[in-house]
């Protein structure tokens, strides 16, 4: 059994309303349900902490909206994390929050509980776009949330943006990126709007003037360029950071390293097994065990995830992990990469296979071609 450090994710499935584009597992809940959730999570943490006995290099409270728990429950949850696992002193401990209300007390509790990184759902600085997305906050509230986080001692801040919204142009994206700079955000995640089946947006799709694929691609490339010029270096398809502020937790996923996910809807990859807790709060409150989801960590999976990163893949990495099979796969992909490097879809470097922003736009097709 391995004793190397792993990443720990806790899914907090509560929101004070549902955004019409969202298909994350989240619901509204009253105090008693959130109390029971924290108790169930304490038990799960104690169980897994004892069973694995492994240190943790990053903790991520995602959702949902973890800030919805309120300061006392949040502190109980964080104390359970640190009691159950040996969290390394250098660990990145992130909490997501939505700026729908004053977060001063939440950040104070989070900071006291060990949180050192805030991820705030801004999505846009434009009031019309926020309204269209059904967001329940203003850009000013997001600005205040950043200030409050820093005041509480949480200095590493990430903001989320959404791209390719109906009616959005370069001007709006430029303004949102400037807003992130004004907030002195260290990190920006910028996702293309995807219409997920089963959401209100999917039902309204016919009435929405969404940009077509070419226009969405132009907006994405504009965002990548503007973020780079603003000091945010792209390190993954949708993630940009000041040097040294890359999200360590999510890098674990893309580097195909091990993580434990607890909470309804959370996925895990441990000792080459994948398993998950179903999107069912009642099952989690009952203490139901996670469901097996087959083997993970295959060569193909490692290539698919690794090519999401700007650092891409090296022969050394594939050989160290998969031996001769990895070395052969790298050599084969290097040959196949030549026309894509010439076409500007892959970086024209030797010793490394990596996509360009243009290549990220067609990453699925491109990676399939390389893997053929
Ligand atoms: S706040 Fe986040 S998790 Fe909650 S409904 Fe909106 S997008 Fe989904």
Per-residue pLDDT tens over the stretch 236-286: 999 999 999 999 999 999 999 999 999 999 999 999 999 999 999 999 999
CATH number of the CATH domain containing 106: 3.20.20.70
Cα–Cα distances in angstroms (integers) from residue 271 to residues 6, 221, 274, 275, 301, in the given order = 11, 37, 8, 11, 15
Residue 349 has pLDDT above 90, yes or no: no
Q: Is the CB of 99 under 6 A from ligand 1?
A: no
> Does residue 158 line the site of ligand 1, with CB under 6 A?
no
217 with 361, same domain: the answer is no
Contact 372, 366 (CB under 8 A): no
Ligand 1, atom 3: closest residue by C-alpha: 64
Contact 37, 285 (CB under 8 A): yes
Closest-CA residue, ligand 1 atom 5, reads 18
194 alpha carbon to ligand 1 midpoint, in Å? 14
CATH of the domain at 349: 1.10.10.920
Cα 335 to middle of ligand 1, angstroms: 43
Tell me the H-state helices in 55-199.
71-84, 104-112, 127-132, 139-151, 170-182
- Predicted pLDDT of residue 2: 77
Residue 321: its pLDDT value, please? 95
Q: Which domain holds residue 340?
A: 298-372
By most ligand atoms within 8 Å of CB, the mutation choice from 13, 14, 18, 101 for ligand 1 is: 18
Going from the Cα of 321 to the center of ligand 1, the distance in angstroms, rounded, reads: 37
CA distances from 223 to 230, 345, 363 (A): 10, 17, 17
User: Does 273 map to a domain?
Assistant: no
Question: Which tokens hold the place of 207?
Answer: 């009435």
Q: Is the CB of 18 within 6 Å of ligand 1? A: yes
Please state the pTM of the whole predicted model. Answer: 0.96
Cα distance between residue 306 and residue 304, in whole Å: 6
134 occurs within a structural domain: yes
User: Among residues of the chain, what percentage have pLDDT more than 90?
Assistant: 98
**Residue 333 pLDDT > 80:** yes
Instruction: For residue 66, give the DSSP letter.
Output: G
> 20 CA distance to ligand 1 centroid (A)?
9
Do 227 and 112 lie in one domain? The reply is yes
**Ligand 1 lined by 65 (C-beta under 6 Å):** yes
Shared domain for 136 and 69, answered yes or no, is yes
């Amino acid at each position: 059994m391995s004793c190397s450090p792993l990443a720990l994710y806790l899914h907090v499935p509560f929101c004070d309303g549902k955004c019409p584009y969202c298909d994350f597992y989240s619901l509204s809940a009253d105090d008693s349900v959130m109390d029971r959730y924290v108790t169930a999570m304490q038990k799960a943490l104690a169980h897994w902490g004892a069973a694995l006995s492994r240190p943790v290099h990053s903790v991520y409270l995602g959702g949902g909206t973890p800030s919805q728990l309120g300061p006392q429950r949040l502190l109980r949850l964080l104390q359970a994390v640190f009691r159950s696992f040996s969290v390394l002193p250098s660990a990145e401990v992130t909490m997501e929050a939505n700026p729908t209300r004053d977060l001063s007390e939440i950040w104070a509790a989070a900071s006291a509980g060990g949180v050192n990184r805030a991820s705030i759902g801004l999505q846009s600085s434009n009031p019309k776009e926020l309204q269209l997305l059904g967001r329940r906050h203003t850009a000013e509230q997001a600005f205040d949330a950043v200030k409050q986080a820093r005041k509480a001692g949480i200095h590493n801040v990430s903001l989320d943006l959404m791209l390719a919204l109906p009616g959005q142009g370069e001007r709006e994206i430029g303004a949102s990126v400037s807003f992130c700079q004004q907030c002195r955000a260290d990190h920006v995640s910028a996702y293309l709007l995807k219409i997920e089946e089963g959401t209100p947006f999917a039902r309204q799709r016919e009435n929405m003037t969404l940009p077509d694929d070419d226009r969405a691609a132009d907006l994405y490339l504009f965002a990548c360029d503007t973020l780079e010029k603003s000091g945010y270096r792209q390190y993954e398809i949708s993630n940009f950071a000041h040097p040294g502020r890359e999200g360590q937790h999510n890098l674990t996923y893309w580097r195909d390293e091990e993580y434990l996910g607890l909470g309804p809807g959370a996925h895990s990859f441990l000792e080459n097994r994948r398993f998950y807790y179903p999107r069912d709060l009642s099952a989690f409150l009952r203490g139901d065990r996670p469901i097996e989801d087959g083997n993970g960590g295959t060569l193909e999976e490692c290539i698919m995830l690794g090519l999401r990163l700007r650092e891409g893949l090296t022969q050394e990495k594939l050989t160290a992990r998969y031996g001769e099979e990895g070395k052969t796969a790298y050599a084969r992909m290097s040959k196949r990469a030549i026309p894509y490097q010439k076409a500007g879809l892959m970086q024209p470097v030797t010793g490394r296979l990596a996509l360009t922003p243009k290549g990220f736009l067609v990453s699925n097709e491109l990676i399939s071609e390389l893997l053929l």
